[in-house]
Amino acid sequence: MVGVKAANGDQHHLRALIDSGSQISVITERAAQILGLKRRRCKGTIFGVGPTSEEPIAQQTYLGWILCGSVKSYQCNVMVHNNYDDLQRFWECEDISLEKEMTSEDEFCLQYFSKTTKRLEDGRFEVRLPIIEELKHKLGSSKTTALAQYQSLERRLDQNIALANDYKRFMQEYMDLSHMERSASERKMEFYLPHHGVIRDSSTTTKLRVVFNASAKSSSGYSLNDIMYKGPNLQQDLQQIILKWRQFKFAYTADIEKMYRQIWVFPEDQAYQRIFWRESKDQPVQVYQLKTVTYGEKAASFLAINCLKQLAAEEKKKYPEAAKEVEESFFVDDFCGGHHTLQQSKQLQADLIELLKSGGFNLRKWRSNEKQLLADLDTEQCDKQTYEFKHMESTKTLGLSWDPQAFSLSWS
């Protein structure tokens, strides 16, 4: 006998049978009336729950009604009215899609990329930002708001010396690598990007990343991202990459160092990537412009991934197998690959490094379940930490951790 609270708060003593192995819970009609429980309409007519243990039991699940029972054969006594829209969405989530539908905007972005992208003398790519021409004139002033946000950032940095030092090191690296430069003249079409720091505890290199906000609204209510095409989703399916990767006897992982920042932005478009910065308050606030593809812009992922695909296409004759891996085994900047023999694994690894180097990309943080695949690499190219594979979206984080010695996977 157990005490049960009714809908109106009254206490009743009812008899309960507890079965820890049961997958359903049932209640008699009389008990439901005593407790004054609210009914909820279901899409089905149910028979089969009764005093005889041999009869089948109907259970409502997120996939619809299912029947279970110990008899070998029986007549189905459930009239099912499934919500096919919910079922279709489930299978779409679980499906490994090999083809992605292209919209007219996607097709335009690909054509625009093909027409405007070029390789420079050192092999690196230079791209144009895919600005929507019809909306360009709607971009308002952003300078005043960005300056106010920068002054607010400085006040926060004054209260956290450690964060301020990390921030300064990050920005100094930008300047040392010529990824940003002073901008003296104003342009009619320009945009100022507010920025702030994000701490990444899982990172084995730079703990702090400065994020530039291309979604900040200008005086007209439009942001830089509002007047920019996103481009098609060119990412490979994560499940497909992992399933393929797990087949290899010799496996390894790596990632591309500062992938976005290895791609130059056309000089005229750099005016859309202006920021405020100064090393110390003893100096006046200066205007800089970012010269490379910038994290936080809507088209950044499309531009970076498409540069990899273009590089693979152009280097296919020289590195056929490595080019195929660039096409199929990269999830943005993360690589998962391998081979069935040690010799082939070494050759593929060497070809991948050379292919990507020809486009200005450095493949690093190598991990493997075979020490010989790391023996010929420089120490700074190897990663001593547990590999973490992340897919960031606006609503979720999908992580995968790999222990290369045991070749075991775990979700985090």
pLDDT in tens, 133-175: 999 999 999 999 999 999 999 999 999 999 999 999 999 999 9
Question: Which of 210-214, 379-383, 386-390 bottoms out in mean pLDDT, i.e. has the lowest?
Answer: 386-390
Secondary structure tally for the chain: helices H, strands E: 10, 21
Say how far apart CA 173 and CA 195 lie, in whole Å.
16
Looking at residue 100, its pLDDT comes to 62
Say how far apart CA 257 and CA 205 lie, in whole Å.
10
Looking at residue 370, its pLDDT comes to 83
User: Which band of pLDDT confidence, cut at 50, 70 and 90, is reported for residue 89?
Assistant: low
Which secondary structure element, helix H or strand E, spans residue 211, and what is its range? strand 208-212
Residue 294 has pLDDT above 90, yes or no: yes
Higher pLDDT, 90 or 135: 135
Residue 267 has pLDDT above 60, yes or no: yes
Mean pLDDT within 105-117: 95
User: Which band of pLDDT confidence, cut at 50, 70 and 90, is reported for residue 71?
Assistant: low
Using CA atoms, how far residue 274 sits from 83, 182, 190, 350, 395, in Å, is 50, 9, 7, 38, 29
Looking at residue 326, its pLDDT comes to 94
Looking at residue 377, its pLDDT comes to 83
Q: Would you list the DSSP string of 206-257? A: -SEEEEE-TT---TTS--TGGGB------PPPHHHHHHHHTT-SEEEEEEET
Say how far apart CA 233 and CA 222 lie, in whole Å.
23
Looking at residue 64, its pLDDT comes to 67
Tokens of 68: 């279970």
Q: Please tell me whether residue 38 adopts helix, strand or coil conformation.
A: coil
Looking at residue 236, its pLDDT comes to 82
pLDDT in tens, 25-43: 788 889 999 999 988 877 6
Alpha helices by DSSP H, 20-160: 29-35, 84-94, 104-116, 143-158
Residue 398 has pLDDT above 70, yes or no: no
Which secondary structure element, helix H or strand E, spans residue 288, and what is its range? strand 286-290
Residues in the chain: 412
Question: Which of 90-94, 112-116, 386-390 bottoms out in mean pLDDT, i.e. has the lowest?
Answer: 386-390
Q: Taking a C-beta distance cutoff of 8 angstroms, is the pair 376, 384 a contact?
A: no
Query: What type of residue is 217?
Result: K
Say how far apart CA 337 and CA 350 lie, in whole Å.
13
